[in-house]
Amino acid sequence: MDNLNTYLFIAAILFSLGMFGVITRRNAIAVLMGIELILNSANLNFLAFAKFGGMNMSGHIFALFVIIMAAAEAAVALAIIINIYNNFKSINVDEVRELRQ
């Protein structure tokens, strides 16, 4: 269990699932959940390389910045999604295709 490849495989599976969510979901919030999964898998990779690369703490700092960015991104994305909902009464990403109302 405790080797680098296990963690990399878990991160690869999580990345693939997140990618699947991003490209198949119609609801914009579900797409956002897929993006969060992808960011989490990137974090797992950073921390795995940090541990098996001699406990270099720079990986932890990078993971921390990814978490900060994810928080900012989620807030702005949800604000945009709520605006889209107010304008179109729908947040399905394949129906929202007009630039004007």
Partner 1 sequence: MADLAFWMIVLLTIGGAAVVVLNKNLVYSAIALLFTFFGMAGLYVFLWADFLAGVQVMIYVGGILVLIIFGVMLTNRITSVNISHSSVQRGIGAVVVLGILSILVIMIYNTPWLQVEAVEPVQTVGKIGYLLMMDYLLPFEVASLLLLAALMGAAMLSRKSN
* Cα distance between residue 52 and residue 19, in whole Å: 26
- Compute the distance between CA of residue 80 and CA of residue 83 in angstroms, rounded to an integer: 5
Minimal distance in Å, beta carbon 45 to partner 1?
10
Interface residues with partner 1 (CB under 8 A) are: 1-2, 4-5, 7-10, 12-21, 23-27, 29-30, 32-34, 36-37, 40, 43-44, 47-48, 50-55, 57-58, 60-61, 63-65, 67-76, 78-83, 85, 91-92, 94
For the bound state, the minimum distance from the C-beta of residue 51 to partner 1, rounded and expressed in Å, comes to 5
Query: What gap in Å lies between CA 75 and CA 69, rounded to an integer?
Result: 10
Q: How far is the CB of 48 from partner 1 (least distance, A)?
A: 6
CB distance 44 to 11 below 8 Å: yes
Report the residue number, 15 or 98, with the smaller CB distance to partner 1.
Answer: 15
CA dist 101 and 87 (Å) reads 7
